[in-house]
Amino acid sequence: MVNRPRTRRSVLSSFVGLVSVLGLLTQSSAAAATTSGGANYQPLPASVRHEIRAVPAKVLRSVGKGDGANAPKRVNQKLRKNGHPEVAYILGEFCPYCAAESWIAVVALSRFGAFHNLTTLTSAPNEGSLSSLQTVSFRYSHYTSRYLAFDPIVNEDVHLRHVESVPARLRKVWKHDDGGFGGYPFVDFAGRAIQTSSPFNPRVLRGLSRAQIATDLAKPRSAVARAIDGGANEFTAATCLATKNKPAKVCARKPVKALERSLKPLHHSTD
């Protein structure tokens, strides 16, 4: 499992966060331009949107599960919204592991529906070797699908300021899994599976622009494809578990079907 040293909301991390916030008060606001990623919350370039939606099926088959660890784990709960299975994603925008997971989520969920108004985001600049990773933001987006409801919950922004509260229907399982504190990223696949961190080390994204990352999604031997496409295949498998394998054109394809069968149960109950 990938270690998440800055995503656990312990007393220590809260103190570190306070120090970070005090330092950042002398810098620009959350929406101001960063040195490497441009301004946050700007429309995602059309070329990047296209590359995300158009990852070739043969590339996804070739990559398989990729180089990732920490696959989603099966649980026995129920989570629905507006009559659909709900995939809920809890994140902090400062978090480099969330920057990685957001790429995975947007590639995987583009197979089940369509994103609208995705914007740019660069993770926090004070995360050492994992600083300022370029990713996508769900904060102002919406998602349409015949098969599921997607609920991205931005709990904290790039400066560790509170944005959205985690709904009560999710809070119990989120905090139970993370030792009582709750950590980022956290994905609940309609109560059928959960994922408690990105399956790859975000260092893969270091120094890359969004355009470079998006282009590399179609190159099966690239580190980006092995990380993001591999993670997206496992994310897709967990989503198929939630949707009862709909649509078949996604869930019956290789390697998704085999990956769904391989998902293991969580080591403890989430009740």
Residue 16's pLDDT is what? 37
pLDDT of residue 182: 85
Higher pLDDT residue, 270 or 124? Answer: 124
Q: How far apart are CA 234 and CA 252, in angstroms?
A: 13
Tokens of 198: 């990105």
65-110 pLDDT, tens digit per residue, is 998 888 999 999 999 999 999 999 999 999 999 999 999 999 999 9
pTM above 0.85, yes or no: yes
Which of 99, 105, 66, 37 is closest to 223 using CA atoms?
66
pLDDT at 31 over 50: no
**Looking at the predicted structure, is the pLDDT value of residue 19 above 70?**
no
Q: Give the lowest-confidence range in 124-128, 252-256, 265-269.
A: 265-269
Is 90 exceeded by the pLDDT of residue 33? no
pLDDT tens column, 171-193: 988 987 656 678 999 999 999 99
Helix extents (H) in the chain: 11-24, 46-53, 57-63, 96-109, 168-177, 210-216, 223-224, 230-243, 248-251, 256-262
- The mean of the pLDDT values for the chain is 87
Select from 192, 102, 109 the least CA-distant residue to 144: 109
Q: In 51-68, which positions are buried (b, 16+ CB within 10 angstroms) versus exposed (e)?
A: bbeebeeebbebbbbbbb
Cα 153 → chain centroid:
11
What pLDDT score does 176 carry?
Answer: 79
